[in-house]
Amino acid sequence: MKSIYLTGFMGAGKTSIGKALGEKMSLPIYDTDSYIEKNEGCSIKEIFDSRGEEKFRFLEEQTLRELPITNSIIMTGGGIISRQSNIEWMKVKGVMLFLYCDINTIMKRLENDVTRPLVHKKSIEEINMIYSKRLPLYHQAHLTIDISDDTLQEATEKVYQAIKSWQSGQH
Ligand code: S3P
């Protein structure tokens, strides 16, 4: 089975859903951000602060290519879609999912976040602008699943069913 790539904006729930899905499907999970932090020995915020976003994007792209392309769930950072080459990779090598979450829910979740350099100290308008700019990029995914109003359990089930029906359509 091809790997499943979970994409979506910061705060959409990629990590929690990925973990729950991994258990449900008995598949190993990988997280591009955690992989980078482990390899570099520092946090994403530190990489942004000391080496800049471009360096982070370089590491992110490299990570995407190092993670398994079969039988795995890959949780990606919200900005992975900022490089078209990453979108192509996920779509050719695996199943790319967009976990859609509306902007109001996202804003509430990110309100007091200090770990994400792209939202920390940013105005609502600025975050909204990044969100709008990225939407068409996420929409290139094979599957878009709206999980805005769902509990973790509901969202996981929805994502699971979407993957199953996508897989059955592949045969
Ligand atoms: C980013 C999202 C973050 C992390 C980094 C940049 C982005 O991951 O990769 O802070 O550009 O949207 P999450 O989406 O898991 O928060």
pLDDT higher than threshold 70 for residue 171:
no
Q: Please identify which residue in the block is written with the tokens 């029906």.
A: 165
CATH number, residue 114: 3.40.50.300
pLDDT higher than threshold 90 for residue 89:
yes
Q: Please identify which residue in the block is written with the tokens 């600025």.
A: 126
Confidence of residue 113 (pLDDT cuts 50, 70, 90): confident
| Closest ligand 1 atom to 76 CA | 15
94 lines ligand 1 (CB under 6 A): no
Q: For residue 31, what pLDDT is reported?
A: 98
Express each pLDDT in 67-84 by its tens digit: 999 999 999 999 999 999
DSSP for residue 80: G
Question: What's the gap between Cα 71 and its chain centre?
Answer: 17
8 lines ligand 1 (CB under 6 A): no
79 lines ligand 1 (CB under 6 A): yes
| Closest ligand 1 atom to 115 CA | 10
Q: What domain range includes position 159? A: 3-167
Q: For residue 41, what pLDDT is reported?
A: 98
Q: For residue 122, what pLDDT is reported?
A: 87
Mutate to test the pocket of ligand 1, among 9, 33, 38 (most ligand atoms within 8 A of CB): 33
* Total domains, the chain: 1
Mutate to test the pocket of ligand 1, among 118, 126, 138 (most ligand atoms within 8 A of CB): 118
DSSP codes of every residue in 50-107:
HHHHHHHHHHHHHHHHHS-SBS-EEE--TTGGGSHHHHHHHHHHSEEEEEE--HHHHH
